[in-house]
Structure 1
Amino acid sequence: MPRRQYEVLPGSHGSRVRVQARGQDVLHDPRINRGTAFTHEERSALGLEGMLPVSITPLEAQESRALSRVRGARTMLDKFAYLQALRERNTVLFYRLLTDHIEEIMPIVYTPTIGEAIKEFSLWYQHMAGVFLSIDQVDRVEECLRNTGLTDGDVDILIVTDSEGILGIGDQGVGGIQICNGKKSLYTAAGGVDPDRMLAVVLDVGTDNLALLNDDLYMGLKKARVRDERYDEFVAAFVAAAGRVFPGAMIHWEDFGANNAHRLLHTYRDEVCSFNDDIQGTAAVVASAVLAGVKAKHEKLSEQRFVIHGAGTAGIGIADLLVDLMVKEGVTREEARTRFWMTSSRGLVTDDATLRFRDFQRPWARGVGELRDWELDQVGRYMLADIVRNTHPTVLIGTSGQPGSFSEAIVRDMAGHVERPIIMPLSNPTALAEATPAELLGWTDGRAMIATGSPFPAVTLGDVTYSIAQANNALVFPGIGLGVAVCKATRVTDAMIAASAEAVASLAQVRSPADPLLPRINDLRHVSAAVAIAVARVAADEGIASAPLTEPVQQVFDEMWQPVYPELILS
């Protein structure tokens, strides 16, 4: 019996499946298993009589029962564990539940709950879909990828991490495979990417997490994280092997540490089809919120002044994309860069040679000479409060991981010079947010236009209830992956990322101060389709689409996998 005991029939996008399995093998394969939803005729044909309760339960009733189980679970981790087990048991039911109730369930299968699940990975481990590659076995990378039973034409997206920069919790070793599977779930629920056409991969290069190294149950390499040339050789071996085994698949880089994320993206972006969600996805969704806010103020993007608190992977990516979008408005790249002030742990990024900034931060350094007349709290130190006081930003973005760093004094100072300040505390999880929406609205008398990284409830101030936009990458990356798959793009370009941001912004309806800056999470399938169409069109215009794009709307719609039980063709 082959590893896969079914075949999705060509052109059916999952709606028709030829099944070879019989008996218990059917119930053990999550893609074709439908449990008590099998009809009596299907049970007879598949050898399932006597293996299931006699009553037939349609998908809708199964979904209702599963939702009750989720809501009845005692803790968020219990909910996560149930949903993970459901995904491994019944693919269609899991994605039907997630798709229909995505606003409620996404925080369970993804951030913030997944962070806790990753910490408990070795303790909770039972079975995990994905590929574990070890730096101690570089010569076996290709063999490991081929052991999946998948090959050329079977995979659209490889979601890969080295687990160094997991969410806001840092180095988590092989537990990072969970973040890849979380992203995989959202690619399908939000973007309609076939769940069988993606693969989660963890690059195990050791860990500097001492708690893991001293944990007898830890399942990864028990050695310090490798950071020398062996690391680059390992990544290069993976990229090369992936190209041989899965030519054309997009590599989605996920939660790499700041020192490697930008470097690897720039190393491989012109060599293979690759995308870094922490850099490009975050940048796109934040830029979408900024574009929507600027449009609501009837202003231009190039007229704004930006302070980005946290010049790491996400912060630099946001600034890069905003500059690209300003250039589209007609300003020069050099002029656009003058609109930004970036902070690191040492304060404002400057050209002061005595301070050590990372290479990817240096293009954003402000000249010390231009700061001579600044009013400072402490001579020689240019901290966030000083930057806001002296630059009067119109947009304040937080990617610092420093909870409460958007203080009342800083926010009131900003709001004293801007009628409608755009403020985005983006750090995850919720406990790391630079400020809460309730605080920001209170300190600005309801004038702040807000997007957050974690989900926050609506805020009522006086007689107005404000809906809080969540700058969740799920608004962007599923559509990018879908668009790439539809047109078989050979690269992911800056223009494609910009198009995704503009597509999301075009769907935001900001008619009053109470309206959110971004589309609602419940609209993710609609948003992803719009993003996919925009991305595919740009790829075609740039000449990097391998498949003809003749009817983009229809092609994107046809490509989107639907969570319904397929027609079974027996063989």
Structure 2
Amino acid sequence: MILSGVASLVDVGWWSFTGGGASLPRLAWSFAGGEDLGLRPWRTSFVALLGWRLRVWSPLPIEEEKTRKASAFDLPPLPPLLVAMLSLDRTCFLRCDELLGPLRARRQRVALPFPATVRCQARSGGELNGRRIAVDNTIKKVEPNSVEPVEDIEHHDGYRDEQFMMPWTVSVASGYTLLRNPQYNKGLAFNEKERDAHYLRGLLPPTCVSQELQEKKIMHNLRQYQVPLQRYMAMMDLQELNEKLFYKLLIDHVEELLPIVYTPTVGEACQKYGSIFRHPQGLYISLNEKGRILEVLRNWPERNIQVIVVTDGERILGLGDLGCQGMGIPVGKLALYTALGGVHPSACLPVTIDVGTNNEQLLNDEFYIGLRRRRATGQEYTELLEEFMNAVKQRYGEKVLIQFEDFANHNAFELLAKYRKTHLVFNDDIQGTASVVLAGLFGALKIVGGTLAEHSFLFLGAGEAGTGIAELIALEMSKQTKAPLEETRKKIWMVDSKGLIVSSRKDSLQHFKQPWAHDHEPVNNLLDAIKAIKPTVLIGSSGVGKTFTKEVVEAMATFNEKPIILALSNPTSQSECTAEEAYTWSKGRAIFASGSPFDPIEYDGKVLVPGQSNNAYIFPGFGLGLVISGATRVHDDMLLAASEALAQQVTQENLDKGMVYPPFSNIRKISAHIAANVAAKAYELGLASRYPHPKDLVKYAESLMYNPVYHQYR
């Protein structure tokens, strides 16, 4: 039986503990009516409404706090949300958005881990069936390390769930609440003992099933949907209902579900985000919160954040400005950080910076969920982003990874350049894409032969992805040949909307395009550029579909026995060409990879498997490597280390099928190797902070990966 209510304050006294010297208020409460309720005195439990001193205090948003008179014992105001509940099994439950750790869910629970000055706030006594209820107890000082979550018997999670569990509630106040908490809910997998211990009896059908059977049922149901967006919505609903089952599905069926929870389906989900919006996911920081961003960050229930993915929604995939509806991208990215890289879900924070949108269709859409104004620019934009970056550092520390995602070119380069020396920042569109493409080139060279310096490269698209890839290729060539970076850049050419980027255009070029302006006469289109440059590698990052035409592919096949063609633009509708087109037009000779997935193609009796140059190969393991090493900055050599680790996972069997990337079915193993390489480079460069240095970084990374198996609760 669960009682909930708020008790009245009877008396407050003060005394000091000799050990820590901290003053604590003595709370005298009385519990009346217990015997009348048929309760044994020893079965009666208690709880107090507590406030405690944190690093930064927030005012209690009640009128009484504003009018309260100062006293000799006046303390800072309480945190904003504070709720207390009663139970009968000597078990107390508290809720607070500032609480750092959950209570032990045993028969006898422990007090809060805050041996600092505390104060009490109460209103009036509660009633149950007309009977008055009050509480009597004394608050005491406890050891800070004595706090654990609902105790799991098997301890499956390498990341130790007690560090992160329970957003919003410290502990579950009832079985009904437990079934609605995605971090703890197991649905029909709760066994008989757990149903009795956690007040679930009667709230579930009598049968008990395994997690494996639940997984089988969900996959059966997902496969009934014909529309990918319906599967996406079903997966998002599952994530909000049963977190462990969601990640178990994603890990065990990654090749089938990755295109659902991320590209290409997430693009359509973002376009329709307002109309399909069900549950708020992540933090929304808009211009309305300017000057209050630190306060907004405090509203997020978790303190131990390790990875943040943030977007302003201006360049979502190849779909353009989707404003606030770009939240689907950070949510999807962080789902992959957990499923593929093993970062604990409660250590991940998706953020959307809403500065408006220039998308007229969204501004006129009644279901649009963001600010209805034109996009902010200039100083207004810069000040908001600067406040956000400083607030993140103040709230979560220097070692939290901030991943910039789908910012427009002009902002993406400026933000990365501005903050890479002061924060742990990473731009997936610039650096992540570059790293995964370089790994694909390493794989392709195993098929066609030669070194990077012996090949020439032509890019269609000179935005953040294209120039980021080009810079990392040039950097790797420079390391291999010991040639200056300025020389290796000359092996790389780019075509933008105005044609080949050449020296005569340099004065009119954006700053990030200028290093790629080489001496050559002007060329107006891609086909003529191919005929003039004769590249061995063609890379598309334009965001414009169907630009690798039959003539373009045939021209590449004319100059090369095995042309390397990478159509990287997402989603599928924006891909420069399909796998079938590349193989057919090159007569089966192309080495092909794309940003979005394509099915294997049979050509001339041989099955050709296109590679997917998906950033999901890199960023989960890359982020894990930064986390396990405690890296404080991202260095370009870490990106090269990640590329090398990924390329090493490609087997000869993969290469025989034309694959330049390993299959996604091994992604957790791949991520562990990438994490180990990145962490090793961090230690080598002196950028790591977690010591002692683990001897076997691969095993260490694997041991820390989140494992979404069900735990048994006492």
**TM class by smaller structure:** over 0.9
Give the direction of change, closer, same or farther, for the CA distance of 1:455–1:48 in structure 2 (3 Å limit): same
- What is the rounded CA distance, in whole Å, between the counterparts of 1:405 and 1:120 in structure 2? 26
Give the % identical residues. 38
Contact 2:622 2:674 in 1 (8 A): yes
- What is the rounded CA distance, in whole Å, between the counterparts of 2:556 and 2:230 in structure 1? 42
**Counterpart among 323, 337, 352 of residue 173 in structure 1:** 323
Matched, 1:86 2:252: no
Deviations 1:415-445 (A, max 9, x none): 2121211110111111211112212112222
SS state at 1:164 partner: coil
Mapping 1:289-328, distance limit 5 Å: 289-328=440-479
- What is the rounded CA distance, in whole Å, between the counterparts of 2:487 and 2:708 in structure 1? 48
CA deviation after TM superposition for structure 1 residue 385, in Å: 1.1
Partner of residue 565, structure 1 = 710
Give the letter for the 1:435 counterpart.
Answer: C
CA deviation after TM superposition for structure 1 residue 514, in Å: 2.5
Partner of residue 183, structure 1 = 333
**Counterpart among 554, 561, 565 of residue 699 in structure 2:** 554
Contact 2:270 2:326 in 1 (8 A): yes
Deviations 1:201-231 (A, max 9, x none): 0001000010111122212111100011111
Partner of residue 246, structure 1 = 396
**Counterpart among 237, 245, 268 of residue 419 in structure 2:** 268
Deviations 1:235-282 (A, max 9, x none): 100000000001121001111011111111111111100111111111
**Counterpart among 478, 485, 507 of residue 333 in structure 1:** 485
Contact 2:159 2:705 in 1 (8 A): no
Matched, 1:493 2:638: no
Matched, 1:125 2:280: no
Contact 1:15 1:565 in 2 (8 A): no
SS state at 1:423 partner: strand
Partner of residue 34, structure 1 = 186
Matched, 1:44 2:201: no
**Unmatched tracts of structure 2, length 5 or more:** 1-93, 104-147
Partner of residue 24, structure 1 = 176
Give the direction of change, closer, same or farther, for the CA distance of 1:14–1:328 in structure 2 (3 Å limit): closer
Deviations 1:115-134 (A, max 9, x none): 11111111122212210101
CA deviation after TM superposition for structure 1 residue 5, in Å: 5.7
- Following TM superposition, the consecutive aligned residue runs of length 4 or more in structure 1 with deviations greater than 4 angstroms are 3-12, 14-19, 510-513
CA deviation after TM superposition for structure 1 residue 470, in Å: 0.3
SS state at 1:446 partner: coil
Contact 1:194 1:560 in 2 (8 A): yes
CA deviation after TM superposition for structure 1 residue 487, in Å: 0.7
Q: Report the number of matched residues.
A: 557
- What is the rounded CA distance, in whole Å, between the counterparts of 2:523 and 2:609 in structure 1? 37
SS state at 1:282 partner: helix
- What is the rounded CA distance, in whole Å, between the counterparts of 1:461 and 1:192 in structure 2? 38
Mapping 1:268-417, distance limit 5 Å: 268-330=419-481, 331-353=483-505, 356-367=508-519, 370-371=520-521, 380-417=522-559
- What is the rounded CA distance, in whole Å, between the counterparts of 1:147 and 1:16 in structure 2? 21
Partner of residue 346, structure 2 = 196
Give the direction of change, closer, same or farther, for the CA distance of 1:233–1:11 in structure 2 (3 Å limit): farther
Using the size of structure 2 for normalisation, the TM-score is 0.76
Matched, 1:207 2:357: yes
- What is the rounded CA distance, in whole Å, between the counterparts of 1:354 and 1:129 in structure 2? 44
406-415 vs 236-245, which deviates more?
Answer: 406-415
SS state at 1:451 partner: strand
CA deviation after TM superposition for structure 1 residue 307, in Å: 0.1
Greater C-alpha radius of gyration: 2
94-103 vs 17-26, which deviates more?
Answer: 17-26
Give the direction of change, closer, same or farther, for the CA distance of 1:355–1:408 in structure 2 (3 Å limit): farther
543-552 vs 471-480, which deviates more?
Answer: 543-552
Give the direction of change, closer, same or farther, for the CA distance of 1:131–1:407 in structure 2 (3 Å limit): same
Contact 1:509 1:516 in 2 (8 A): no
208-217 vs 95-104, which deviates more?
Answer: 208-217
Give the direction of change, closer, same or farther, for the CA distance of 1:15–1:66 in structure 2 (3 Å limit): farther
Matched, 1:2 2:95: yes
Deviations 1:495-543 (A, max 9, x none): 0011101111111125655330101111111111111000000000000
Partner of residue 672, structure 2 = 529
Partner of residue 432, structure 1 = 574
Deviations 1:66-123 (A, max 9, x none): 1111111242111111110000010100000011001101111111111111111111
Partner of residue 147, structure 1 = 299
Which structure would you say has the larger RCO, counting Cα contacts within 8 Å and 6 or more residues apart? 1
Using the size of structure 1 for normalisation, the TM-score is 0.94
Partner of residue 68, structure 1 = 220
RMSD: 1.8
Give the direction of change, closer, same or farther, for the CA distance of 1:214–1:535 in structure 2 (3 Å limit): same
**Counterpart among 262, 266, 283 of residue 110 in structure 1:** 262
Deviations 1:440-495 (A, max 9, x none): 11222221111111100111111111011000110000001111110110011100
- What is the rounded CA distance, in whole Å, between the counterparts of 1:26 and 1:408 in structure 2? 58
**Counterpart among 451, 459, 470 of residue 593 in structure 2:** 451
**Unmatched tracts of structure 1, length 5 or more:** 372-379
Give the letter for the 2:526 counterpart.
Answer: L
Matched, 1:231 2:381: yes
